[in-house]
A and B are shown apart, each in its own frame.
Chain A
Amino acid sequence: MNPSNYLFVSALLFTIGSLGVLTRRNSIVIFMCIELMLNAANLAFVTFARIQGNLDGQVIAFFTMVVAACEVVVGLAIIVSIYRSRRSASVDDVNLLKF
């Protein structure tokens, strides 16, 4: 098996994640799809590390995880505060900045 198959899986997961972001309306599900995209990127990094033979890819994947964790924290806090004021978790309901 060619190790670059992992890269295809990564691309596939990334695509699925982006489709989910565009299609779902529940803000938490959208967030989860973003997490999926981040994870797909991580997989790609780790595979490249293995292919290149040095650990830089893994270090970057590590940083990506940390940043993703911070992002989840803040993002969910925002979702909760929006939910408290609007009583709705749908992203289509926060559409006031329009023409």
Chain B
Amino acid sequence: MDSAHALASGSSSLLVWLIALPALGSAILLLGGRRTDKWGHLLATALSGGSFIIGIVELIKMLGRSGENRGVSQSLFTWISVGNFNVEAGLLLDQLSISFVLLITGVGTLIHVYSITYMSHDLDRRRFFAYLNLFIAAMLLLVLGNSYLNLYVGWEGVGLASYLLIGFWNQNPVYATAAKKAFVANRVGDFGLSIAMMIAFATFGSVSFDGVAAGAGKANSGALTAMGAMLLLAAAGKSAQFPLQSWLGDAMAGPTPVSALIHAATMVTAGVYLITRSNFVFDRAPTAQLLVVIVGVITLLFGAIIGTAKDDIKKALAASTMSQIGYMILAAGLGPAGYAFAIMHLLTHGFFKAGMFLGAGSVMHGMNDEVDMRKYGALRKFMPVTFVTFGFGYLAIIGVPPFAGFFSKDKIIEAAFNAGGARGIIIGSAALLGAAITAFYMTRVMIMTFFGKARWSADAHPHESGKLMVVPMVILAIGSLGAGALLSLGSSFKNWLEPVVGHGFIEPPARMTPLVVSALALGAVVLGVGMAYLRYVRQPIPELAPTNVSVLTRAARRDLYQDAFNEAIFMRPGQYLTRALVFLDRVFVDGAVNGIGALFGGASVRLRRVQTGYVRTYALFILGGAAIVVAAMLAARL
């Protein structure tokens, strides 16, 4: 699709304030220190809200412009100018980025409000809000950057913020290790992004989106495929896709608002943004697109299977995030036919997943921070508002109409089936299977938490949470209800994005009509819900996790052995290599260096015995020397 990429036709000087406000907030709170403890959280929330307002303003302005001219840009300064490599620090706001901007700032501000109460007992609340603002600023930079390098700055920034926030309670070494694990896994992906930028520069001579888009039509497919593969690696790292998904479960060590914001709604969706933004590369590299689709399919099933065996409510939600993003990646890999649906699912997922995480946080708050669902049960009587908001999110995620997930997920399944050939059938079937398993484990979560008999200990006093926690959950629940319908009305969102991602053709005849797909999807949902009902409502739920379970359950409990695999293939050899190098260094290098020193030391110890202190030995040496000199003189003259 030529010129599908919307070049910015106008400019706006407000764009930099989108990023500057939260960045300022973060700086003030971090540099101000304890002095800002009293009002820091309020300032941070206000600044985040300010960015949201600027986003709304820009949206209104954008709606007033025509489709092709909706992009605006703002160039800040020339960042790098070395030889042929020129990078401008500039911002680009088009239909794709505005969607993200509103999601980030909107959900972000709601979570700021939520955190005021959730973290009210924590002494380091100010630092938490500073990091949240830092995250918002970095994520905005990520989606607003007008070149891969600018995006990379934001990319790294969100990685940093994620690390800081996962390990927020870093007194606990388990949490600190989880933060490190997340950072390292992200780093592997960042490596891919760097290589992709290098390929871009080598092939197109530029790393800006405009430059790459302009040159993509003429580049050879090998370079494009390589670049696409590297971008996929980057996306897999940031979005916790196979094979770099092992960090997401451990990342739940962070406070729940962090899990809601970063690991559900925004940061983990950055990979989807990257692939969508690079549509001009992927559309011309079918092999790379196939790889994307494969990764998406594997991950959506992977996450779903893991989710069925998790007893920790947050880890179950994390597995479901992994799976849902697999759907988005799958859709993004389908080319122009799927980009819009990927982003739509991303937006709706932001609502319902964040809402469910906040609900989980509310449940934990009321149950003394207990996360094991086996210790919940029958909470709907004690936390009615939480039950309702969480329930809305649950209905959205499993795809019950008219909730948001029904529209977005079904569209993805439809696009998958229509991708053509045997491939389409396989992908579509996998997506359907994933939908069934999703329904199963999400129902499991609902039943174990809110229904059934109360399984908690005597000292738990479940109660509803405070207003500042409840209001964001309610807003997000409303979004879970209505957002999908809103975006789908008359294919409005698809048309909205079209100038950016290109027009998606579905080759006639469409194999599956939307009705058939919806019917199949609903059937899968009913199947999943039914199985969960049989399993968890008809039979009592044990308080301790049962030990004689099937092989699959055992594997799912251990994250399908991903950690074991990583450790065996990457970590252990790395450790052995390090140990070997240390040994070499100590024995050979240090040995050589110390050996030279010891050599000289030993030699000098022996040589200094020449200084006997006796005059007569010195006289002996003098005479000996004189004899040698005379001999030499005589020998010269002979």
Same complex origin of A and B: yes
A contacts, CB < 8 Å to B: 18, 21-23, 25, 91-92, 94-99
**Contact code string B598-638 (vs A, CB < 8 Å = 1, else 0):** 00000000001111111110011001000000000000000
| B618 CB to nearest A CB, Å | 10
How far is it, in angstroms, between the C-alpha of A36 and the C-alpha of B228 when the chains are bound? 100
Q: Within 8 Å CB of A97, what residues of B?
A: 611, 613
Q: What would 20 A/B residue contacts be, using CB atoms closer than 8 Å?
A: A18-B623, A22-B616, A23-B616, A91-B616, A92-B614, A92-B615, A95-B612, A95-B613, A95-B614, A95-B615, A96-B613, A97-B611, A98-B611, A98-B613, A98-B614, A99-B608, A99-B609, A99-B610, A99-B612, A99-B613
Task: Say yes or no: A99 contacts B611, CB within 8 Å.
Answer: yes
Task: Say yes or no: B623 contacts A22, CB within 8 Å.
Answer: yes
| B633 CB to nearest A CB, Å | 15
Contact count A vs B, C-beta below 8 Å: 34
| A23 CB to nearest B CB, Å | 8
Task: Say yes or no: A92 contacts B609, CB within 8 Å.
Answer: no
Using A21-B616, A99-B609, A99-B611 as known contacts, list a sample of 16 further A-B pairs with CB atoms less than 8 Å apart, ordered by residue number in A: A22-B616, A22-B619, A22-B620, A23-B616, A25-B616, A91-B614, A91-B616, A92-B615, A92-B616, A94-B615, A95-B614, A95-B615, A96-B613, A97-B613, A98-B614, A99-B613
| A94 CB to nearest B CB, Å | 7
How far is it, in angstroms, between the C-alpha of A96 and the C-alpha of B615 when the chains are bound? 11
How far is it, in angstroms, between the C-alpha of A25 and the C-alpha of B609 when the chains are bound? 21
The number of residues on chain B lying at the interface, defined by a beta carbon within 8 Å of a beta carbon of chain A, is: 12
| B445 CB to nearest A CB, Å | 83
Task: Say yes or no: A21 contacts B619, CB within 8 Å.
Answer: yes
How far is it, in angstroms, between the C-alpha of A96 and the C-alpha of B623 when the chains are bound? 22
| B225 CB to nearest A CB, Å | 74
Q: Within 8 Å CB of B615, what residues of A?
A: 91-92, 94-95
Q: Within 8 Å CB of A95, what residues of B?
A: 612-615
Nearest 5 A-B pairs (CB), nearest first? A98-B613, A95-B613, A99-B608, A91-B615, A99-B611
In this complex, what residue of B is CB-closest to A94? B615
Q: Within 8 Å CB of A25, what residues of B?
A: 616
| B613 CB to nearest A CB, Å | 3
Q: Within 8 Å CB of A92, what residues of B?
A: 614-616
Q: Within 8 Å CB of A23, what residues of B?
A: 616
How far is it, in angstroms, between the C-alpha of A22 and the C-alpha of B620 when the chains are bound? 6
| A87 CB to nearest B CB, Å | 18
| A42 CB to nearest B CB, Å | 18
How far is it, in angstroms, between the C-alpha of A22 and the C-alpha of B609 when the chains are bound? 19
How far is it, in angstroms, between the C-alpha of A92 and the C-alpha of B611 when the chains are bound? 13
Task: Say yes or no: A98 contacts B612, CB within 8 Å.
Answer: yes
| A1 CB to nearest B CB, Å | 26
How far is it, in angstroms, between the C-alpha of A1 and the C-alpha of B415 when the chains are bound? 132
| A47 CB to nearest B CB, Å | 19
Q: Within 8 Å CB of A98, what residues of B?
A: 611-614
How far is it, in angstroms, between the C-alpha of A98 and the C-alpha of B614 when the chains are bound? 8
How far is it, in angstroms, between the C-alpha of A94 and the C-alpha of B616 when the chains are bound? 11
How far is it, in angstroms, between the C-alpha of A97 and the C-alpha of B611 when the chains are bound? 8
How far is it, in angstroms, between the C-alpha of A21 and the C-alpha of B620 when the chains are bound? 9
How far is it, in angstroms, between the C-alpha of A21 and the C-alpha of B623 when the chains are bound? 10
Q: Within 8 Å CB of B623, what residues of A?
A: 18, 21-22
In this complex, what residue of B is CB-closest to A96? B613
**Contact code string B448-463 (vs A, CB < 8 Å = 1, else 0):** 0000000000000000
| A18 CB to nearest B CB, Å | 6
| A38 CB to nearest B CB, Å | 15
How far is it, in angstroms, between the C-alpha of A95 and the C-alpha of B623 when the chains are bound? 19
Q: Within 8 Å CB of B614, what residues of A?
A: 91-92, 95, 98
How far is it, in angstroms, between the C-alpha of A92 and the C-alpha of B613 when the chains are bound? 8
How far is it, in angstroms, between the C-alpha of A94 and the C-alpha of B615 when the chains are bound? 8
Q: Within 8 Å CB of A96, what residues of B?
A: 613
How far is it, in angstroms, between the C-alpha of A96 and the C-alpha of B611 when the chains are bound? 10
| B597 CB to nearest A CB, Å | 19
In this complex, what residue of B is CB-closest to A21? B619
Q: Within 8 Å CB of A21, what residues of B?
A: 616, 619, 623
In this complex, what residue of A is CB-closest to B612? A98
Enumerate B561-618 residues with CB–CB distance to A below 8 Å. Answer: 608-616
In this complex, what residue of A is CB-closest to B626? A18
